[in-house]
Amino acid sequence: RQPLDEQFPEWGDSPYYSVSISGVKTLSELLTHLYVLVPVFDNEKHYFVGEDELEKLLAKGGGWLAAHPEKEQITRRYLKHRSSLYREALARLVEAEGEATTDEPSATEQQEESLEKTLSLNDQRLGAVIAAIRGSGARTVLDLGCGEGKLLRELLQDRQFEQIVGMDVSIRSLEMAQKRLRLDRLPDRQAERLKLIHGSLIYRDKRLEGFDAAAVVEVIEHLDPPRLSALERVLFEFARPKTVVLTTPNQEYNVMWESLPTGQFRHADHRFEWSRQEFQDWATRVAEQHAYSIRFLPVGPEDEKVGPPTQMAVFNRLGEEHE
């Protein structure tokens, strides 16, 4: 580490280091290493890290990163600890190396799952969502932000639902959903009921129009707040399903988990987590603006002071309410 000023050692060290690199490499190989490793050492990217950064990492590190002993640390730091991108990058590196793909959750996802495991919160959440959709009388259903297909699997088991479409922005998640649902092994009649599509909730998509119900389960908190207005229009103005069932974490409940540091979100990829009042204010405004009625339901054990771990809103298009 370099001193701040060699003439004044009492000033301490500067934030700069001297690094020696040795090895028998071509210049191009050296530069690809530096392209990846310099931001990894810095660990302070000052811009949004998305799919384009993942592709850069694979392009520059594809020839050496898969065999690197610190590939997990390098990948995690390069992608700014974005767990979904981190998992996708590792999976693709392993595939490139010819090994079997592993689906081991990242540290942040393991933390979120461990927080909710004691409550079986995911099961309760899926059950509440399915009950609301079933109660609406829906026969055609969208799962927006379907991930690896947990809700899709439950919907597929209920014969009330004749057409089910799962959409996600991550191609890797859709591939995992296809494998987990074993779409290639389903009987033709079952397979015809389910379709997976690639898309984003912030861009208008005519494929989403004409459905009875849409589920948006633990999705909105992964969006940057300025993009919520785009989601509102795509979902409630253009797609405009008869019923929308939407869930998001209740930020107030986080204090109930001793293992979650104060002020930290449940998942590293969350852009925000709302209190009950914040969620109700947002959802009520959206409902009024787009001519939907709305009701709020708790999901999971409800504490007197901080409420439930998950909050759910059920929107019904005015004139389409079901008893």
pLDDT tens-digit map of 20-43: 877 777 887 788 888 888 888 776
| Structure tokens belonging to residue 191 | 């397979």
Average pLDDT, the chain: 85
pTM above threshold 0.75: no
Distance CA 219, CA 228 (A): 11
Distance CA 142, CA 195 (A): 10
Q: Distance between alpha carbon 102 and the CA centroid of its chain, in Å?
A: 19
Does pLDDT of 117 surpass 60?
no
Q: Which of 116-130, 154-168, 193-207, 220-234 has the lowest mean pLDDT?
A: 116-130
Within a 10 A sphere around the Cβ of 247, how many other Cβ atoms? 25
- Backbone φ, ψ for residue 181 (5° rounding): -85, -10
Does pLDDT of 139 surpass 80?
yes
Question: Please, where are the H alpha helices in the chain?
Answer: 27-42, 51-61, 71-78, 83-97, 107-117, 121-135, 150-156, 171-181, 188-191, 228-232, 276-289
pLDDT at 42 (0 to 100): 73
* Range list for CATH 3.40.50.150 in the chain: 112-317
The domain made up of 112-317 is a member of CATH 3.40.50.150: yes
Distance CA 132, CA 245 (A): 7
| Structure tokens belonging to residue 71 | 């590939």
